[in-house]
Amino acid sequence: MKKYFYTDGTNNYGPFTLDELKEKKISRETKIWFQELGEWKPAGEVSELTEIFKLVPPPITKTNLNYNSMENLNNQKPPKTWLVESILVTLFCCLPFGIAGIVNAAKVESRFYAGDIEGANRSSADAKKWTTISFWIGIAVGVIYLIVVIAGAASGY
């Protein structure tokens, strides 16, 4: 019977049979040794152990926990505010949507620099929505206006 050992880095544990080893809380990174292996290997690389890990999700790569700190925010680009587009809409479409877009742009900025990245992304999506809607309404009104004028001219007014 094959005997397995595992180590937590300082102490070695074992010998265990394969079934005993399965009861231990080992992870993919836990170093394993048995006689045929020659040297310590991560459990994830040992073929007969892979079935233990089938139900265990792979480890999450650690995200930087200081992500939200002020210093880091100043080095990052906030989400798109749609400010420029909103100003253009205000100047050309004559619609209150442009003003709404500018207010949303301010929300993106203040939320982002307050560390609320998710909220900033939401406001950015809102700003995009309103700018797009007002852009198309502006185009539609222009086209309808033109059709009405041409139809009027054609019918002799």
Partner 1 sequence: MDIRKILKWCIAIILVTILAILYRTYNPNGNVYFPKCPFREFTGLKCPGCGSQRAVHYLLNFDIFNAIKENVILVLSIPYILTGLVFDSLKKPNENILKWRKILFGRKAIFVILSIIIAFWILRNIK
Check binding of 151 to partner 1 (CB under 8 A): no
Taking CB under 8 A as the criterion, the residue among 91, 118, 154, 156 binding partner 1 is 91
Cα 62 to Cα 55: distance, rounded to the nearest angstrom: 21
Amino acid at 111: R
Q: Pick from 93, 123, 124, 131: which binds partner 1 (CB under 8 A)?
A: 93
What is the rounded CA–CA span in Å between residue 133 and residue 62?
A: 39
Nearer to partner 1 (CB atom), residue 12 or residue 76: 76
Tokens of 104: 């949303």
Chain positions 94 to 133 lying near partner 1, rule: CB under 8 A, are 94, 98-99, 102-103, 105-106, 109-110, 113
Instruction: Tell me the C-alpha distance between 23 and 4, whole Å.
Output: 12
Q: Which pairs count as long-range contacts for 104-112, CB under 8 Å and 24+ apart, including other chains?
A: 104/130, 105/81, 108/78, 108/79, 108/80, 108/81, 108/82, 109/78, 109/81, 112/73, 112/78, 112/79
Check residue 136 for interaction with partner 1 (CB under 8 A).
no
Single residue of 32, 43, 90, 120 touching partner 1 by CB under 8 A: 90
Q: Residue 154 is encoded by which pair of tokens? A: 């054609």
Q: Min. distance of Cβ 153 from partner 1 in angstroms?
A: 8
The stretch among 6-14, 18-26, 40-48, 90-98 that binds partner 1 (CB under 8 A) is 90-98
Examine residue 78 and say whether the peptide bond preceding it is cis (omega within 30 degrees of 0).
Answer: no
Which is nearest to 85 in space by CA: 46, 131, 52, 43? Answer: 131
Q: Establish if 141 lies at the interface with partner 1 (CB under 8 A).
A: yes
Give min distance, CB of 94 to partner 1, in A: 4
From 20-28, 40-48, 84-92, 116-124, give the range in contact with partner 1 by CB under 8 A: 84-92
Residues lying near partner 1 in the complex (CB under 8 A) are found at 74-77, 80-81, 83-84, 87-88, 90-94, 98-99, 102-103, 105-106, 109-110, 113, 141-142, 145-146, 149-150, 153
